Amino acid sequence: MSISVVPLGGAKEIGGSSYLFEFDGELVLVDCGLRPGVSRDDPDYLTKVVPNLDLIKKTPVCVVTTHGHLDHAGASPTFSRMFPGVPNYMSEETRAFSSLQWNDTLKIDRDRPHLRVFSEGDVTACQKAVRPLPIGGCIDLGHGISVEAIRAGHILGAISPKFKFKGKTIFVSGDFSCQDQTVISGANFDGIKVDFVLSEATYLARSRQSFGIEKGRFIADVLSVLRRGGKVLIPAFSIGRSQEVYQILRESGLFEQFDIWIDGGATYTSKVSLRYLPDKIDPDIEKHFVSKEDRGAHRHNICHDDKPCVVIVPSGMLEGGYAISYTRAWIGGNKNALMFTGYLDPNTLGYRVCYSRDGDEFDFPIIKRSRDGEITKIIPVARVRHCLIPDPYQFSAHAAHEDLLATWRGLNPKKLVLVHGSPENINWAVQNPNEILPGAEVIGPQNGERIILEP
């Protein structure tokens, strides 16, 4: 019997997560994500943005998708083009979020067909290939391989797949978090014992503030901006973070005094979240959506009237979406604030804005489109930053360093393969296995490197 794994992407990096497992010659792919940090201006964009699917030399039995974030599910339509009809197992929630991501990617590149990593047809094929893998469910994949979906915390619908093959157990963490967030409760892996673990290592050897402390700082800062009559823009990932931020503000009591709006793709993900978590999400959340009937006029009023308010809108890194329109409207006002609440890739506009200084200038061109989406006009607009931009709030949905160690020690594998983290921190762990998991082999593969779990 032999079991091995090759990272096709997402090894010593965050982005492009895709791990190819081999069980006695049968292949199972876990995740097929994009690298959101690759700039579309990069001459090698098309090869860099997707995992290296060319390393798949035989049609896999299936794909298992851990959750609906872009860096885990975003390239699945590309896989479906290469391997049509191969089933892709995921939770219902992940299906809803992934579909949104695939369609968003098509939309972002609608004017740049040469940058498309998949077509509408590939998305349709991919949607047809989706098979349900409910949280807590267990599925026989054939060839003696089975998979169980363990709840991973992180975001709605996220799972940690646990594979069984000929008496051996392989646990793939996906992205996970042990601490409760406001909406999503933490994972509980107590009592699970396995032979091999492939784990994310985002916060390995990194410290961060606790969720509670960051929540306090965030609420205090929002309130002080609103009280002085300013507007607060919170660019947020539509999946997970938008709902977390909304619920934090909801529970703070700010709603009684100030308007809070959700706009863009976050309205759809908020509806999905309400459907699956009716006891965790405000039942009146839809009343805070920028109104459907006349969205343009409503948005214009929010942008330009003098009422203090909060707007939660994607994208979190200002890569697109209506967050750009609000930034353009508010970045110059010294009473206003822009508050980032998540990871910012250094290649993004969000990063440059977040770490800018008062007086720095940015371009926010206005793009006019016809009804069928064709660009009709681009109006250049420059803005000088005068608004407040506090340090990003660390509302992480990933396991903290101590939680990683406790999780690995609880699972107690013979071999621990670390991925989805920085090269420095993973290398440190490989050199100091006794500080990580005494008695185990700790492995930090490169992309494309085959790791033999069971020879």
Residues of this chain that bind Zn ion (CB under 5 A): 69, 175
CB of 25 to Zn ion, least distance (A): 30
Per-position DSSP letters for 73-137, written without gaps between them: HTTHHHHHHHSTT--EEE-HHHHHHHHHHHHHHHHHTTT-GGG-SS-HHHHHHHHHHEEE--TT-
Q: Based on CB atoms, which residue is closest to Zn ion, 26 or 31? A: 31
Q: How far is the CB of 4 from Zn ion (least distance, A)?
A: 25
Cα separation, 33 vs 60, whole angstroms: 17
- Kindly tell me which of 27 and 397 has the beta carbon lying closer to Zn ion: 397
Q: What size, in residues, is the chain?
A: 455
> CB of residue 295 vs Zn ion: minimum separation in angstroms?
29
Task: Please state the closest distance from residue 327 (CB atom) to Zn ion, in A.
Answer: 24
Residue 98 or 247 with smaller CB distance to Zn ion: 98
* Shortest distance in whole angstroms from residue 405 CB to Zn ion: 20
Residue 101's Cα: distance from chain center in Å? 10
Choice between 230 and 314, CB closer to Zn ion: 314
Give buried/exposed letters for 393-426 (b at 16+ CB in 10 A, else e): bbbbbbbbbebbbebbeebebebbbbbbbbeebb
Q: CB of 16: closest distance to Zn ion in angstroms?
A: 12
Written as six digits, the tokens of 87 are: 């089933």
- From CA 171, how far away is CA 164, in angstroms rounded? 9
Pairing of strands 415-419, 196-200: parallel
Q: How far is the CB of 73 from Zn ion (least distance, A)?
A: 9
What's the sign of the alpha-carbon dihedral 87, 275, 259, 228?
A: negative
E strand segments, 242-342: 259-262, 309-313, 337-338
Residue 56 tokens read as: 């798949």
Q: Are 417 and 443 in contact (CB under 8 A)?
A: yes
Give me 299's structure tokens: 């948005």
| Nearest-angstrom CA–CA distance, 125 and 80 | 6
285 vs 15: CA distance, rounded Å: 31
Minimum Å gap between C-beta 245 and Zn ion is 16
CA distance 312 to 261: 6
Examine residue 173 and say whether the peptide bond preceding it is cis (omega within 30 degrees of 0). no
Give the distance between the most distant pair of CA atoms in the chain.
Answer: 69
What is the nearest approach in angstroms of Zn ion to the Cβ of residue 367? 29
d(C-alpha 294, C-alpha 274), whole Å: 23
Q: Are 20 and 431 in contact (CB under 8 A)?
A: no
Query: Of 26 and 175, which has the nearer Cβ to Zn ion?
Result: 175
Q: Quote the least distance from Cβ 21 to Zn ion, whole Å.
A: 20
Question: Least separation, in Å, of the C-beta of 117 and Zn ion?
Answer: 19
Write out the two tokens for 21: 């497992």
For tokens 């479906």, what's the residue? 80
**Residue 26 or 71: which CB sits closer to Zn ion?**
71
- Sign of the Cα torsion 295, 301, 303, 308 reads negative
**Token pair of 48, please?**
């860099």
Taking the complex as a whole, the smallest distance from the CB of residue 395 to Zn ion amounts, in Å, to 13
Nearer to Zn ion (CB atom), residue 331 or residue 399: 399
Q: Which is nearer to Zn ion, 18 or 325 (CB)?
A: 18
Nearer to Zn ion, 185 or 412 (CB): 185
Of 270 and 336, the one with the shorter C-beta distance to Zn ion is 270
